[in-house]
Chains A and B, each alone.
Chain A
């Protein structure tokens, strides 16, 4: 039920964000300085910002840019990070040591430096932003995956599979990959959250979205500057980000349970694993 609930929330939000702009008749870019910083009212359901623009329409338009960047960054980080993590966890000898050392080296680079350099080289836009954030999250993902892989490889059933003569490839696809999915899902949702927040931070520094683009990160930054006069500007994007991350986390939880049909929570071990909570 939780899963259906959170999936519904995510779907609703996505629909709202994708189709919502069609319902609103305010131009998100139209400034009306005389009406600045007005609290929520019938004419402007979420109020107006410093330049008198309608907050609701900026919020609806903003979702696309923000979510796309965060999604791209997550895909990149998970993809590259998983490959590196598996390689580091399953390899042997010098190559693995080298890889581990390279990973540690990449980890040591502060994300700020990586992101700024990538964005300076590639300019603004959804793809450069995804790349920049994704790159800075790759090494951490790789290390987490590597730890998970090591734990799985140490399990009895993997040893048994080896003993039965299974090839490395088989073990990789039949045992390792399915078993790191829970960790992947859990960490992936965290990465999505970081990507969402880091995108806003980079916009703050002036390298993310162009000023004036409707974007949740931009709105959070603007809202923070006028927090005392107009707290409502930050609320919509902030709350949405919170809800999305929460919903994604719950989905991940439920997926976790789906992949382990005999999964029962620690406390309920005494009862027979009849019906699992869905």
Chain B
């Protein structure tokens, strides 16, 4: 075979490949009107998009528009407002919730919405064969449901659970059409989702895009949803931008209209750009924090833990790494979480002298003049487990530097994945580990701070804390819960069980033409029903 033939062959292969690329890819919606089509940038690629099964908050961003929930939370007051349920009541013992449902709702596939549909959804979530990774755990002590009549349903619990309404207002408990659920297998349903929300689910191509289209028959939204107008969004296309550096570039070039989780340094750059507006959203839940192991030297000593907190300059961290876009966190809850204890504000403010005094009071001194304190010949060394997400490595480096001033050596253990993080935790070879979850109702604290909590990585056990948290999770009265949670937060911070750094702020940004873009009280999920393009969309 001569060289000419080889070259010709190569060219043919090349041409074939190029042609292949020219062929219209999967679905040809390029022809559809680009007017009033919003392009939204997602940042994480969850491996699954079934709200009943998968756990990522990223899936909630598109699906919040596809599904209605029984109740909604008003974005301003956080109060529960009617969604698919018009009214509800709780029995005296807190075990039975009765919901009256709307009668004018239809699913996107035309089937009617009724109590049987709700029951079918709940059954699916708790069915072990479904393999739910989040929704079933959010239901807590759920025992079952009863269909009283076509538009009345009762949910029965094994014991009182104050967070039930909160769970029912989240997209993971969105109500899907039973006919669609039956028509597809558990794994295939996510590609053919049918709900009752303001947008219909058109297609999902994993790793590529999600397409939604406005539901023109939608008249049953919560009170804060406005009816569609001329400038409302007709279609929404979600694309994935997992590489943080490319996010702001996509926004600037006009390729996307809305982008989430912009890097703080890039957000600072956008301040001068009049074509783009920054929309920071505080996310309730746990702040970015380090849980402290109370069962291992040297953090088994409360004075040492407190010294670490006093020796941390949180303002410097927020200035440098978060460009002042986040507020300082003072306790185990972010400030906009329900039942936050404002008395904690200012606790453990940066005070080097106090930190040094505490360490000296338990016998640490620098006996060999190497800059690191020691006791009985053992250096004051803490092991910090550092996952790669959320700018935590940079925080850990600053902590390392700050703690050198008070004579503490921090050894950083980077872990590349959550399973690897878990392994280190299970081996017990850590003093601090960075981990947090989001949520509006602080019932998630039980996983972390109950003696038997599955995520009790502090190793702290206290009867009082156990009692307080258990009661708070089941108390029906809000003021009772406030008192109980105040006490819980107080105990946690008195014992210095964690090092809070900052409240999580999702740095969203959008092109200036996108108006009335609001986020729901959970912080992550946009409410796109009301969003409009001002002027001509681009």
Contacts of B420 in A (CB 8 A): 120
Query: In the complex, which of the residues A29, A116, A229 contacts B268, with contact meaning CB atoms closer than 8 Å?
Result: A229
Give the chain B neighbours of A34 by CB distance below 8 A.
316, 319-320
Is B96 on the interface with A (CB-CB < 8 A)?
no
A-B contact count (CB 8 A): 75
Identify which of B113-121, B362-370, B410-418, B501-509 touches chain A.
Answer: B410-418
Q: Judge if B57 is at the interface, Cβ distance under 8 Å.
A: no
Whose C-beta in chain B lies nearest to the C-beta of A27?
A: B401
Task: Tell me which of B244, B263, B394, B396 has the highest count of chain A C-beta atoms within 10 A of its own C-beta.
Answer: B394
Tell me if A212 is interfacial: C-beta within 8 Å of chain B. yes
Q: Which residues of B contact A33 (CB under 8 A)?
A: 316-317, 319-321, 398
Contact residues of A between 204 and 227, Cβ < 8 Å to B? 205-207, 210-212, 224-227
Cβ–Cβ contact B265 & A206, under 8 A: no
Output the residue of B244, B393, B413, B420 with the most chain A CB within 10 A.
Answer: B393
The reply on B388 being an interface residue by CB < 8 A is yes
Q: Is the CB of B401 within 8 A of A37?
A: no
Q: How large is the interface on B (under 10, 10 to 19, 20 to 34, 35 or more residues)?
A: 20 to 34
Q: B315 — nearest CB in chain A belongs to which residue?
A: A33
Nearest neighbor of A123 in chain B, beta-carbon distance: B413
Q: Is A2 an interface residue (CB 8 A)?
A: no
Q: In the bound complex, do residue A31 and residue B401 qualify as a contact, i.e. CB atoms below 8 Å apart? A: yes
Number of chain A residues close to chain B: CB under 8 A: 26
CB-CB under 8 A from B388, the residues of chain A are: 205-206
C-alpha gap A31/B386 in the complex (Å): 18
For residue B158, CB closer than 8 A to chain A, the reply is: no
Asked if A50 lies at the interface with its beta carbon under 8 angstroms from chain B, I say yes
B269 within 8 Å of A (CB atoms): yes
The reply on B87 being an interface residue by CB < 8 A is no
Residues of chain A within 8 A of B245, CB atoms compared: 224-225, 227
Bound CA–CA A229/B265 (angstroms): 7
Chain A hits for B266, CB < 8 A: 228-229
CA A37 to CA B397, docked complex, whole Å: 16
A31-B414 contact in complex given A50-B321, A211-B393, C-beta closer than 8 Å: no
Assembled-state Cα–Cα distance A173/B394 (Å):
53
Known contacts A212-B396, A212-B397: does B416 contact A205 (CB below 8 Å)?
yes
Nearest CB of A to B323, in Å: 9
A210 pairs with B316, CB closer than 8 A:
no
Q: How far is the CA of A36 from the CA of B412 in the complex (A)?
A: 22
Chain B residues with CB under 8 Å of A227's CB are: 245
Q: In the complex, what residue of chain B is closest to A209 when comparing beta carbons?
A: B414
* Cβ–Cβ < 8 Å partners of B320 in chain A: 31, 33-34, 36, 50-52
Q: Is residue A30 contacting chain B, with contact meaning CB distance below 8 A?
A: yes
**Known contacts A33-B319, A50-B265; A206/B416 CB under 8 A:** yes
**In contact, A116 and B397 (Cβ under 8 angstroms):** no
Given contacts A50-B321, A52-B320, A211-B396, contact A228 B248 (CB under 8 A): yes
Q: What is the distance, in angstroms, from A108's C-beta to the closest C-beta of chain B?
A: 22
Structural contact, A37 and B265, CB atoms closer than 8 A: yes
Q: Name B319's closest neighbour in chain A (CB-CB).
A: A33
Q: How far is the CA of A210 from the CA of B384 in the complex (A)?
A: 12
The answer to whether the Cβ of B400 comes within 8 Å of any Cβ in the partner chain is yes
Task: Evaluate contact between A212 and B400: CB separation under 8 angstroms.
Answer: yes
**Complex interface bits, A155-192 against B, C-beta within 8 A gives 1, otherwise 0:** 00000000000000000000000000000000000000
Chain B residues proximal to chain A, CB less than 8 Å? 244-245, 248, 263, 265-266, 268-269, 316-317, 319-321, 386-388, 393-394, 396-398, 400-402, 412-416, 420
A-B contact pairs, 11 of them (CB 8 A): A33-B316, A51-B320, A52-B320, A205-B388, A207-B414, A207-B416, A212-B412, A226-B263, A226-B265, A229-B265, A229-B268
Q: What 5 A-B pairs are tightest by C-beta distance, nearest first?
A: A33-B320, A211-B393, A206-B416, A31-B401, A212-B397
